[in-house]
């Protein structure tokens, strides 16, 4: 690959990112900041192991200048899957 080809490709990608990210007048995002998922073994019943699974979600609780919360409500369900290898 020639040096000119690399430079041209970099310029194309640079122009793409400039048009994409700097052409936006305002960006708003409310999202999950972090969280944890933990589990605890409860017991063994009828040959089946039982666990308690706890999902803790943390989010940004910012408010606008009028004191109105900017976040949307959480989804009502979180789907968790467990797979056995």
Q: What is the pLDDT of residues 30-82, one digit of tens each?
A: 667 788 999 999 999 999 999 999 988 887 777 777 777 766 677 778 888 88
19 vs 58, which has greater pLDDT? 58
Which pLDDT score, from 0 to 100, does residue 8 have?
79
Opening angle at CA 60, ends 54 and 64, nearest 5: 145
User: Which residues make Cβ contacts (< 8 Å) with residue 40, sequence separation at least 6?
Assistant: 51, 52, 54
pTM: 0.48
């Amino acid at each position: 690959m020639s040096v000119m080809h690399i430079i041209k490709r970099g310029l194309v990608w640079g122009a793409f990112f400039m048009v994409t990210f700097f052409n936006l007048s305002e960006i708003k995002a409310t999202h999950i900041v972090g969280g944890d998922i933990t589990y605890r073994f409860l017991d063994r019943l009828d040959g089946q192991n039982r666990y308690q699974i706890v999902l803790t979600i943390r989010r940004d609780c910012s408010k606008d200048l009028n004191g109105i919360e900017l976040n949307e409500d959480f989804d009502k369900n979180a789907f968790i899957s467990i797979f056995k290898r």
